[in-house]
Amino acid sequence: MIQRERLIQCILGFFPLINEKIFKDIKYKNSLHQMRLIGMLEHNNGKPMKYFCEKLMIPKSNLTKVANRLIEEELIERKTDEKDRRIINLYITKKGKEELAKHKQVMKENIRIKLEKLSNEDIQRLISDFEEIELILNKL
């Protein structure tokens, strides 16, 4: 039981550490919620707004504001469901895909610069550890 509690502490501390050490200096053209929504749409295109509310853990009113800003910028679009007009589905646009690709490139370059501080041994260890974590987490 003590090991599981320690693991929980490690997991809860990991994400803020990654954010602080790797993503803190990245300047977003759009808000973090907007970028997360566009990123989710890349793999979940055409899902209802309710789906994204649950995944982003934000109320529908907040998601509506986020989506409206992205719609104004023509990065996403909203369409009513063909089977049930009460359901509103979100779709990423071509412009949204292009913007997301640019954002990913900026993130990769920022991470690349930060990783230059590490030795080859540290890089290899991180690769190995991340691969092991992925294998274990896929069991959940």
Give the percent of the chain with pLDDT over 90: 72
Residue 103 forms part of a structural domain: yes
- Mean pLDDT value across residues 89-105: 94
Residue 70 near residue 96, CB atoms below 8 Å: yes
- Mean pLDDT value across residues 121-128: 96
Residue 39 forms part of a structural domain: yes
Give the pTM: 0.77
Residue 95 forms part of a structural domain: yes
Q: Is the pLDDT of residue 90 over 80?
A: yes
Residue 73 forms part of a structural domain: yes
List the domain range (segments joined by +) for residue 67: 29-137
Residue 94 forms part of a structural domain: yes
Question: Could you identify the residue written with the tokens 């691969």?
Answer: 131
Residue 9 forms part of a structural domain: no
User: Tell me, what amino acid is at 71?
Assistant: I
Q: Is the pLDDT of residue 101 over 90?
A: yes
Q: How many structural domains compose the chain?
A: 1
Residue 1 forms part of a structural domain: no
- Write the burial class of residue 52 (CB in 10 Å: 0-12 exposed, 13-18 middle, 19+ buried): buried
Residue 38 forms part of a structural domain: yes
DSSP string, 117-129: TS-HHHHHHHHHH
